[in-house]
Each structure stands twice: as structure tokens, then as C-alpha cells.
Amino acid sequence: MDCCGHEGPGSGDARFEIKKVADGVHVAVAAPAYKVNSNTALIESDGGVIVVDTHSKPSAARVIIERLRDLTPKPVRYVVNTHFHWDHWHGNEAYPAAYPDAEIVTNQITREAMVTKGLERIQDHVRQGPGEIARLKTDLAAARAPEQRAKLEADLRLAEAYLAEVRALRPALPTIVFERTMRLYRRDREIQLLHLGRAHTEGDVFVYLPKEKVVVTGDAVIGWTPFMGDGYPEDWVATLDRLAQLDFTHIILGHGDVAGREWLRTFRSYIHDMVEAVRQEVAAGATLEEVKQRVPAKLAAVYEKPFSAYADYRPWRTGVLGNIERTYAMVS
Ligand SMILES: [Zn+2]
């Protein structure tokens, strides 16, 4: 891995480091942001570029479009969405605007989730924006320490910019869907889009390049504690076991730096051990509050450190509580 990292000028909280993963395969690793951005995989092929995931807003996707022009003159042909969460598809509209022939691809389950849940959540963001801005203004008025004031001022600017952007959003839904598998055979590359079962959402899509031994996971695997609010913790492990059967060396995560198979093993075993610990507690009759006390204490020795690479941004101690709540609700 090497090459060409630079940050976007005047792009708010959309900052990316572009890294080469294989010949013609790059990832834009998103820096932690006030409004979280996903990573984007950029796969060049003879027919054009395939982009995987489009961040939380069109302005962030436009940063990628600019960066892409440093890498290749080829147009974007396909945009793949790995799942229906806002931080992976709200930037979609930037691509057909810049490349009129671009098609947006996902699986049937994910497109349906965008229509039934995603569109509504855009309206939630529009409704919740003013309250969030008012809270930041109250906090700013009460803040004294210069460092804290600077942080709140920056967050306030980002919250205001985001609200303006989400109000103007013109959600670009996928134009092509598949059921379980879609394969693109290019002269120079084979690209597989795979649904391997439920994990982070009901419809997670993996993008697999068998020749280059690269897989793009969306948020089924990330660099910090997984978010399980729409997830299926009990199915997740089996889905990752199916993923592990594929032959690859490099994993482009939904969030966080490029990883190897070692991280997949750690990530999988965290979910497995968390689910098993919750299940045992529930079987013994523990309340949710008791489970939230005991399970982090039990798992911390093994998992707190590996899941703390982005500890300031997404602390494990907070993430694990959300994971326990979701798992508790599903197993009890
Ligand atoms: Zn995400």
C-alpha cells in the first residue's frame, strides 16, 4: 500500500486519504468526521471506474470525484452501495450528476430498505437538524475553555452545513439490483457483488476481486466497534464465516484503514464472544442492566485494546453497550 494521500481543500469534514491496494484498485479512507463518512473503494477497469459507497452527503462524494481525476481520466460506470445506511449512499446523486451514464447498483433487499427506511430517515435528519444546532449553540454559550469553544464552533458550522445539504438532498436510488450475486467480467478484471447473509443489515453487499485478492465489506467489517442498530448479531458470525471462505489478502473496510485477515478473525470473534456472553446471561435470568455491567467486564481484557484504534472517536466501552442492547433484545 502506498501513494497519494491528501486532504480536500474547503471540504468541511470530508477528508480522505487515498491508498493503493492493488493495481488499479484504491481506497479513499475517510478521516473521522463530525458527520461520519464511509470509505470509498475505487476500482478501475477497461470499461470505466466502479465506486463502492458514497458517504453521508453529496459534497463528500464530490471530493472523491475530484480526487479520482488525479488517478484516472476514465468515467465512473457503476456506483455500488453496500447497505442502506445514510453514510454509505446519501452522496449517490453526485455521480449521475458528474457522469450521466453511471448506474447505481445494490441488491434487492438493500434497495427496498432504502425505500422503506432510508427515505424516512432523511426526513428524520431534516427534522432533527435544528434541535441539534440549538443544542450546540447552548453548549457554546456555556463553554469557557478555548479548546472546547473551538471544537463546538467547528461542530456548529458542520451541523449547519449538513442541515442545508440534507434539506436539498435528491436521493438517487439504485438503478440496477441483483438477488444474491452479480458478476462483472471486464477484459482486465472480474468483480463479484455478493450477498452472503444478514450481518450489519439484512442486505449487506460485499465486493470481491478474486484475481487481486481484495474484498470490500461495507460495515459488515469496520475498524472500530460495529454498529448493530439494524444488525443481526446472531447471523453476523455465520456471514463472516462465509466471507472468510473467499481467497483474499486485503480488506477494504466500511470505516477505518485497510486490514488483513487477522482483523477479520478478531472482529468475528468479538461478535461471537459478545453474543455468547449475552446469551449465557439471559439464560441465567440476568436483567439488561446486569448484562450491561457484566459482559463488558468479561470481554474487556481481550477486546478493548484491539477495538481502540479510533478510541477518541468511537470508544469500545460505548459501542459494546449498544451491541449488548441489540443482542439482548434479539435473544431474550
Ligand atoms: Zn457506515
* The three-state (H, E, C) secondary structure of 271-285, written as one string: HHHHHHHHHHHHHCC
DSSP readout, 224-259? Answer: SSPP-TT--HHHHHHHHHHHHTS--SEEE-SSSS-B
DSSP readout, 22-51? Answer: ETTEEEEEEPP-SS----EEEEEETTEEEE
Distance 255 CA to ligand 1 centre (A): 6
Q: At 27, which helix (H) or strand (E)?
A: strand 25-30
Distance 187 CA to ligand 1 centre (A): 32
Tell me how far the alpha carbon of residue 134 is from its chain's centroid: 28
**pLDDT value for 10:** 45
Distance 283 CA to ligand 1 centre (A): 32
17 pairs with which residues across the strands?
29
Distance 85 CA to ligand 1 centre (A): 6
User: How far is Cα 41 from Cα 293, in angstroms, rounded to an integer?
Assistant: 38
Q: At 67, which helix (H) or strand (E)?
A: helix 58-71
**pLDDT value for 312:** 87
> Smallest Cα–Cα separation from 89: which of 69, 73, 66, 113?
113
What's the pLDDT tens digit per position in 246-289?
999 999 999 999 999 999 999 999 999 999 999 999 999 999 99
Distance 290 CA to ligand 1 centre (A): 29
How much helix, strand and coil, in percent to the nearest 5, is found in the chain? 45, 20, 35
Q: What is the DSSP letter of 73?
A: S
User: How far is Cα 252 from Cα 272, in angstroms, rounded to an integer?
Assistant: 21
Domain assignments of the chain as residue spans, ordered by start:
16-111+173-259, 113-167, 268-331
Radius of gyration of the chain (CA): 20
Distance 141 CA to ligand 1 centre (A): 32
User: How far is Cα 313 from Cα 316, in angstroms, rounded to an integer?
Assistant: 10
The answer to whether the Cα torsion of 311, 312, 314, 316 is positive or negative is positive
For 78, phi then psi, to 5°, come to -130, 140
Distance 142 CA to ligand 1 centre (A): 32
Residue with cell string 470508544: 315
**pLDDT value for 1:** 37
**pLDDT value for 7:** 39
**pLDDT value for 11:** 54
> Smallest Cα–Cα separation from 81: which of 112, 101, 51?
51
What's the pLDDT tens digit per position in 83-130?
999 999 999 999 999 999 999 999 999 999 999 999 999 999 999 999
Contact 101, 75 (CB under 8 A): yes
Distance 227 CA to ligand 1 centre (A): 8
Distance 284 CA to ligand 1 centre (A): 34
Distance 190 CA to ligand 1 centre (A): 25
Distance 277 CA to ligand 1 centre (A): 25
Candidates 2.40.10.340, 3.40.50.300, 3.60.15.10, 1.20.1440.230; correct CATH number of 16-111+173-259? 3.60.15.10
pLDDT < 70 stretches in the chain: 1-11
